[in-house]
Amino acid sequence: MPLNPRLHLRPRPEPAPHHLRTQPEPAPHHPRPEPSPYRLPPRSEPGTAPDRARPGRPRYRRAALLASAVSLCLVAAAAPAEPLGIGDTLFPYLGNPGYDVASYDLALTYTGAQDKPLEAVTTIDARTTADLERVNLDFTHGTVRSVAVDGLPAGFTSAGEDLVVTPRHPLAEGRRFRITVRHTSDPVYGKDRQGGWVRTADGLAMTNQADAAHLVFPCNDHPSDKAIFTFRITAPNAYTVVANGLPTGTDRDGSTTTWTYRTRHPMATELAQVSIGRSAVVRREGPHGLPLRDVVPAADRKALEPWLAKTPDQITWMESKVGRYPFETYGVLMAQASTGFELETQTLSLFEKSLFTEPGYPEWYLESIMVHELSHQWFGDSVTPRAWSDVWLNEGHATWYEALYSEETADRPLAARMKAAYGASDRWRAAGGPPARPKPPAPGQKIDLFRPNVYDGAALVLYALRQEIGRPAFERLERLWVREHRDATATTADFVRLASAVAGRDLDGFLRPWLYGEKTPPMPGHPDWKPTAAAKAAEPHLKR
């Protein structure tokens, strides 16, 4: 997973837990049509109080009803701006109600100075799902220069970590609209911030998990609202820029070049990635002609090539387990930075370069980490959790395929790892909560969400399910899961329903204690497995 998300905690080799990488359920994502060029006559200047008169509404026959409606409107208009959220139990103020984002267009200008804010323009195309007097966006740690709604200046203010936008006229339910925010994006953070920009040895990269995309750009920063992304990054000619998706062109203008990338599939904000550096881009072909591109420090290209060359076979292995790779491209970004974790940013997974160039980890272990992040492209990126309490669906599956790969390619028995996880599971549940009901992270420690209970603890749930329904049914379930929820969001309840359908019987009674119980249930087929006393934990390495 990403920095403070798609994160993975991984302990150093050998059986310690690896990857540490709610709310009323938000409405599921649905494809949205392109926004209409709706325009209103000009009225106020940027940043000024907008005219709050409503556009034409049906006339009421009774004057009293009209007066009442006007009165309510004025009361709403006078209410102070406040931070909103969609009710996620782990991150209550993430996301915003009342609209569904179709696309982001993010333009950034990097001067080459890592300690200076980037100038930025974020354009959001969305559709309202309720009548809105105001539109709240998640955004902090930047200066807002101006805001426009459908091309007209809009009022704006901040409330908590929200940017609150007041258009000239209220937006009716079902209305398509466009918000354009001119702002800065600051890569320098205080000690109380985690995620967002990461300053590398030669530039910048992003680590937006779990709730840090809004430190970089205005957005609806919750995985339940996926959207198409376009990136337009301008940097000095000496730099190479790579972002999620495929390149659509470069435009050189004097001493700078603008690089444009676009995703073909919707993406959660926490999976956005932009790499700016003195990088080499290594290209090759994957299965079925899939274009692969890896981004590495130019000076390290030769040394890292043996690792980069492993990706095509790893994709082939994953496809043999769950089906075709779900996106338009893939690759790894090996950044010269100290993050303490790896991250599954969509189509371009982030790794610390030092993981592969410094001694300390055996080859089989590093390959398993590569497969962990690769498997997230199916589990977490294509099929995205609808609430952060569903994160076990990401991390448990990524840990599962990481362990299965090690069993099949490096003779590291899956059952031995699961037995060790079973011994520690009660302790993990006590410390971090059950896999599907994780405890909130401590204030200022957001990556604490990625504890062993959502990595090996969640993989243990999948092992128990395979023991219960048998290998053929389990493997069929995995393929169906990624196929039926591709490019969408899903919940723990969705997984339980599909597992029950595949098994031909209701599995709620079996899975509920495994997912939500304070104690670990008996393992089917292994009555001898018991909780074990705590051992000294290996130093964790965050995988997300």
**pLDDT tens for residues 123-170?**
999 999 999 999 999 999 999 999 999 999 999 999 999 999 999 999
Q: Tell me what pLDDT residue 387 has.
A: 95
Pair type for strands 196-199 and 176-185: unpaired
Q: Which of 82-96, 190-204, 515-529 has the lowest mean pLDDT?
A: 190-204
Mean local confidence (pLDDT), 83-101: 94
Q: Tell me what pLDDT residue 289 has.
A: 97
Q: Tell me the whole-structure pTM to 2 decimals.
A: 0.84
Mean local confidence (pLDDT), 263-270: 98
In 34-117, DSSP assigns E strands to 99-109
Confidence of residue 535 (pLDDT cuts 50, 70, 90): low
Amino acid letter, residue 157: T
Q: How many helices (H) and strands (E) does the chain have?
A: 11, 24
DSSP states of 335-351 as a string? Answer: ESS--SBEE--TTSEEE
Confidence of residue 536 (pLDDT cuts 50, 70, 90): low
210 pLDDT higher than 90: no
Q: Is 248 helix (H, G, I), strand (E, B) or coil?
A: strand
- Segment (H or E) for 259: strand 256-262
Using alpha carbons only, give the angle 19, 23, 24 rounded to the nearest 5 degrees.
135
Q: Tell me what pLDDT residue 442 has.
A: 79
**pLDDT tens for residues 212-256?**
999 999 999 999 999 999 999 999 999 999 999 999 999 999 999
Q: Which of 267-271, 387-391, 534-538 has the lowest mean pLDDT?
A: 534-538
Q: Is 26 helix (H, G, I), strand (E, B) or coil?
A: coil
Q: Tell me what pLDDT residue 61 has.
A: 32
DSSP states of 501-529 as a string? Answer: HHHTS--HHHHHHHHH-SSPPPPTT-TT-
Residue 371 backbone dihedrals phi, psi, to 5 degrees: -70, -35
Whole-number Å distance between alpha carbons of 141 and 146: 15
106 pLDDT higher than 70: yes
The contacts of residue 426 (CB under 8 Å, 6+ apart) are 519, 520, 531
C-beta of residue 152 within 8 angstroms of C-beta of residue 179? no
Q: Tell me what pLDDT residue 68 has.
A: 33
Residue found by looking up tokens 């006559």 in the block: 41
DSSP label at 303? H
C-beta of residue 445 within 8 angstroms of C-beta of residue 9? no
DSSP states of 447-507 as a string? Answer: GGGS-GGGTHHHHHHHHHHHHHH-HHHHHHHHHHHHHHTTTEEE-HHHHHHHHHHHHTS--
Whole-number Å distance between alpha carbons of 156 and 167: 9
Q: Is 127 helix (H, G, I), strand (E, B) or coil?
A: strand
66 pLDDT higher than 50: no
476 pLDDT higher than 80: yes
- The mean pLDDT value of the chain amounts to 86
Q: Tell me what pLDDT residue 193 has.
A: 73
Residue 515 backbone dihedrals phi, psi, to 5 degrees: -90, -35
Sheet holding 176-185, edge to edge: 152-153, 144-149, 176-185, 118-128, 99-109, 228-236, 256-262, 246-253
Q: Tell me what pLDDT residue 9 has.
A: 36
C-beta of residue 64 within 8 angstroms of C-beta of residue 72? no
How far is CA 310 from each of CA 89, 252, 299, 373, 399, rounded to the nearest angstrom? 39, 34, 20, 13, 19
Confidence of residue 448 (pLDDT cuts 50, 70, 90): confident
Mean local confidence (pLDDT), 276-288: 97
Q: In 432-458, which positions are buried (b, 16+ CB within 10 angstroms) versus exposed (e)?
A: bbbbbbbbbbeeeebbbbbbbbbbbbb
The contacts of residue 374 (CB under 8 Å, 6+ apart) are 311, 314, 315, 318, 330, 349
Q: Tell me what pLDDT residue 57 has.
A: 31
Q: Which of 141-145, 207-211, 342-346, 456-460 has the lowest mean pLDDT?
A: 207-211
Residue found by looking up tokens 């492993």 in the block: 310
Residue 233 backbone dihedrals phi, psi, to 5 degrees: -115, 120
Confidence of residue 543 (pLDDT cuts 50, 70, 90): low
42 pLDDT higher than 80: no
Token pair recorded at residue 87: 């009710």
Confidence of residue 19 (pLDDT cuts 50, 70, 90): very low
Percent of the chain with pLDDT over 90: 77
The contacts of residue 322 (CB under 8 Å, 6+ apart) are 378, 478, 479, 482
